[in-house]
Structure 1
Amino acid sequence: MANHKSALKRIRSNETKRLRNKYQHKTTRNAVRDLRATEDKKEAESNLGKVISMLDKLAKNNIIHQNKAANLKSKLTKHVAAL
């Protein structure tokens, strides 16, 4: 167990950040899943920008790797274009 006040605070802040990252990551995965399941081109095009923005934010905060975000964005854009 931690012995210093700063270490105790770090434990608390790490847990808070972990939960926030987990929530954002799961929300983005669900948005990607929903976009892939969409059959309507107009709806997919309107949601694509939101999903790309979510992926960029995850990559910026190192929740996912930049290349993973780029690969997902590329595949989703191709999917929407093919509808």
Structure 2
Amino acid sequence: MANHKSSEKRIRQTKTKTLHNKYYAKTMRNAVRKLRATTDKAEATEMLPKVQKMLDKLAKQNIIHKNKAANIKSSIALHINSL
């Protein structure tokens, strides 16, 4: 249990931020999953900029690591090129 008011506040803030980050990380994972499941090249090409933008924003906000964003962007680009 927290012994100070500041640590109690920090616990509340961390809980709120964790929920916020989990929501956006899960949204990103679902978008990437949907893109990888796509077999139509035109549809996948249309989705690519939106997913890349989402990945860049999350990396900028430190919700995901910048290298993870780069790796995902690279792998989905390879997927689209192989269609």
TM-score, with length taken from structure 1: 0.88
Deviations 1:9-46 (A, max 9, x none): 11111000001111111111111111001011121111
Name the CA distance, whole Å, in 2 between partners of 1:13 and 1:45: 39
Q: Which moved more, 1:15-24 or 1:60-69?
A: 60-69
Instruction: Give the C-alpha shift of residue 6 in structure 1.
Output: 2.0
Unmatched tracts of structure 1, length 5 or more = none
Corresponding position of 2:7 = 7
TM-score, with length taken from structure 2: 0.88
CA-based RMSD of the aligned residues comes to 1.2
Unmatched tracts of structure 2, length 5 or more = none
Q: Which moved more, 1:58-67 or 1:12-21?
A: 58-67
Amino-acid identity (%): 65
Secondary structure of the residue aligned to 2:43 is helix
Count of aligned residue pairs for this structure pair: 83
Is 1:78 matched with 2:82? no
Name the CA distance, whole Å, in 1 between partners of 2:9 and 2:49: 37
